[in-house]
Structure 1
Amino acid sequence: MFSQRIEGLRPSPIRAILDVIDRPGMISFAGGLPATDTLPQLSGVVPASTLQYGPTEGEPELRAAVSRQLRGLGVDAPPDRVMILSGSQQGIDLAAKLFVDPGTPTAVEYPTYLAALQVFRFYGARFVDLADPDSARTALAYVVPTFANPTGACASDAERDRLAARCLRDGTVLFEDDPYRDLVYDTCDRTPIAARMGGSSWIYQGSFSKTFAPGLRLGFIAASDDLFDRLVMVKQATDLHTSRLSQHIVLDAVTDPGWGARLDRLADFYRSRRDVFDDALTRHFGDLATWETPRGGLFFWLHLTRNVDTRGLLDAAIERGVAFMPGEEFSPDRPSIGTMRLNFSHADTDQTDRGLGILADLLRS
């Protein structure tokens, strides 16, 4: 009855956990949820035109605003090669539809973004470790080089240069996912790899979920000239166009003179939460795990000192009112046993201390 690709489809553990975070008293270190205090308060009149069908590529004014931002980063992205998405997750789906057949070699980081793995698996990708210098050529290389999900790592300029050179040499399409770049707390290299890909095939995408409002489901994608029109056709076959209402709200925000100041305040807010979380980790997990303090993004990546499969702890943690993401879920085919991804943006100071204490008690027991 069902297509063959359904055989490899598995429920998303992130979505399953998000179903429980609204329970009274639940402390969530699981999904990359922005702090509720940072979400915008909306008001004003919505033009009637936003309730009509719109262009597949998105509203011209918003595409132009995104183009200005990307060109400022060195990415060759004129407005006519920018498309507004129904969330950046859609960009992953469009790219997979364009490139991935059953058995298509697809290079990813180990570990990498769980929801991207879900999409690539759905279309039958054969995963290749991006870090393996002896791996064969792949059709597509998916990377999150700036404050990676789940590890929080930020690639150096030299690492970005090497990956660009490798893709150019092998004719591999670079797919750079960059939703966290504006959530920066310490200095690090953030120039997009796509800015180094002149004359080759690339896709670059970002999101307004982390810097503005995830409920609007709005992201964007830019691509090299040889790929963009094909991506537009795939989107037309998917959902015709992205919500014009969401685009109107985001356009008002990103073109407001105070947008830059908002990003600065957001970074200050999350830097403080990161530091509070880091201190609480030291108190509760100092003898249980090792980690690096992330220079941006929303996550801590923990390596436990004992070889514990954290998937077995999740149900017990939820019963005690704490949600987290087992790190084993983020590797394509060889789980990283004894790892945890903890989000630091959503919980306040008291919740952080109490929740990490509960997790530490569960690990010790």
Structure 2
Amino acid sequence: MFSQRIASLRPSPIREILSVIDRPGMVSFAGGLPASETLPHLTHSIAPTSLQYGPSEGDPELRTLVSEQLRALGLDAPTERVMILSGSQQGIDLVAKLFVDPGTPVAVESPTYLAALQVFRLYGADFTDLNWADSPGAPLAYVVPTFANPTGRCAIDGERDSLARACLDSGTTLFEDDPYRELAYGPCHRAPVTARMGGGSWVYQGSFSKTFAPGLRLGFLTASEDLFPRLVMLKQTVDLHSSTLSQQLVRNALTDPSWASRLDELASFYRTRRDSFDDALRRHLGGLAEWETPAGGLFFWLRLTKPIDTRTLLATAIDRGVAFMPGEEFFPDRPQLGTMRLNFSHADADATERGLRTLAQLLATCGL
């Protein structure tokens, strides 16, 4: 009675874990939740037009604002090729619908964003490993080059050049997901790979969830001329258009004179929280795991000194009041045991101490 693709459908581990974070005393290192104290206090009046239907591509003024920002990054992104999304997750779904049939090869990093893997699997993708210097060997390549989820890695300039050239030479469409670029805490190369894809097929997307408010469910997408009209038609079949109310709120924020200072303050806040988390990690897990301090984004990627399957620890950890993301979930085919992703943005200093101490105690019972 169901479609064939439902057989490959699996629940999102992140969404399952997030369902428990409101328990009293729960410390969550699981999802990429912004710190609650960074979320805006909205006091704007609501115009009646913000409660009306809108164009599929999005509010024209907001699209123009996004276009100006993207063009400043070197992207070929005129207003008429900018689309507002109902969260960047929608962009992944639209691109998957455009390219992926059962058996279609999709090149991805390993590990990579697990919600993207979930969507590509739903449509039947066969995953291949993305090599930054060689042909992706697939019609579509998905990459998070700036503060990658889950590793926090930022690709160097030469890698970005090589990937763009490999995609152009092989005719691969490059799909660049870039939700964390504004959360930079140190020097790193952040120029979009797709800005180097002149003459090729590409999609670039970003999000307002990390810089403004995730509950508004708003992102944006731009694409090469050959792809954009088809992506718009696909969006029309899904939700007609993104929330006009959310778009008004984001447009007001972007045009506020304080927007630039908000981004600076946000990066400063998370830099401090990252450093505090790093110190706590060294105290509690210094002999149990290895990691690199991320130059941006929201996550630490840990490699345990013993290759245990961290998925088996999760239920016990939640029972003891701490949630994390097992690293095995982020691998497309062959999970690497003994890895975990820890979010540092949401928990305050006291909760971080309590949560990491609990994790260390739990890992010690596994012989680490």
What's the TM-score once normalised by structure 1's chain length? 0.99
Paired residue for 1:57? Answer: 57
- Does 1:211 pair with 2:211? yes
Paired residue for 1:352? Answer: 352
Paired residue for 2:93? Answer: 93
Structure 2 gaps of 5+ residues are none
Deviation (angstroms), 1:137:
2.3
Deviation (angstroms), 1:75:
0.4
Deviation (angstroms), 1:355:
0.3
CA deviations on 1:19-56 (whole Å, 9 max, x unpaired) are 00011111000000000000000112111011111000
Paired residue for 2:15? Answer: 15
Evaluate the alpha carbon distance shift between residue 134 and residue 256 of structure 1 in structure 2; reply closer, same or farther with a 3 A threshold.
closer
3-state secondary structure, aligned to 1:237: helix
Distance 1:67 1:196 in 2: 17
CA deviations on 1:189-245 (whole Å, 9 max, x unpaired) are 000001100011000000000000000000000000110000000000111000000
3-state secondary structure, aligned to 1:161: helix
Alpha carbons 2:175, 2:203 under 8 Å: kept: yes
* Counterpart AA for 1:260: A
Alpha carbons 2:112, 2:150 under 8 Å: kept: yes
Distance 1:354 1:172 in 2: 46
Distance 2:81 2:136 in 1: 30
Paired residue for 1:181? Answer: 181
Distance 1:306 1:13 in 2: 23
* Counterpart AA for 2:249: I
Q: Which moved more, 1:259-268 or 1:123-132?
A: 123-132
Distance 1:143 1:332 in 2: 13
- Does 1:78 pair with 2:82? no
3-state secondary structure, aligned to 2:174: strand
Paired residue for 1:47? Answer: 47
CA deviations on 1:112-143 (whole Å, 9 max, x unpaired) are 00000000000000000002867762110000
Evaluate the alpha carbon distance shift between residue 136 and residue 28 of structure 1 in structure 2; reply closer, same or farther with a 3 A threshold.
closer
- Does 1:321 pair with 2:324? no
Paired residue for 1:2? Answer: 2
Paired residue for 1:234? Answer: 234
CA deviations on 1:65-124 (whole Å, 9 max, x unpaired) are 000000000000000000000000000000000000000000000000000000000000
3-state secondary structure, aligned to 2:226: helix
Paired residue for 1:222? Answer: 222
* Counterpart AA for 1:163: L
Paired residue for 1:168? Answer: 168
Structure 1 gaps of 5+ residues are none
Paired residue for 1:244? Answer: 244
Distance 2:137 2:299 in 1: 31
Paired residue for 1:307? Answer: 307
* Counterpart AA for 1:152: G
Paired residue for 2:157? Answer: 157
Evaluate the alpha carbon distance shift between residue 25 and residue 193 of structure 1 in structure 2; reply closer, same or farther with a 3 A threshold.
same
Alpha carbons 1:129, 1:135 under 8 Å: kept: no
- Does 1:276 pair with 2:276? yes
Paired residue for 1:193? Answer: 193
Distance 2:81 2:44 in 1: 31
* Counterpart AA for 2:131: A
Aligned length: 365
* Counterpart AA for 1:14: I
Q: For the aligned residues, what is the CA RMSD?
A: 0.9
Distance 1:323 1:136 in 2: 35
Alpha carbons 2:40, 2:212 under 8 Å: kept: yes
Evaluate the alpha carbon distance shift between residue 24 and residue 327 of structure 1 in structure 2; reply closer, same or farther with a 3 A threshold.
same
Paired residue for 1:102? Answer: 102
Alpha carbons 1:64, 1:79 under 8 Å: kept: yes
Distance 2:133 2:336 in 1: 20
CA deviations on 1:269-288 (whole Å, 9 max, x unpaired) are 00000000000000011100
What's the TM-score once normalised by structure 2's chain length? 0.98
3-state secondary structure, aligned to 1:93: helix
User: What percent identity do the matched residue pairs reach?
Assistant: 72
3-state secondary structure, aligned to 1:226: coil
3-state secondary structure, aligned to 1:351: helix
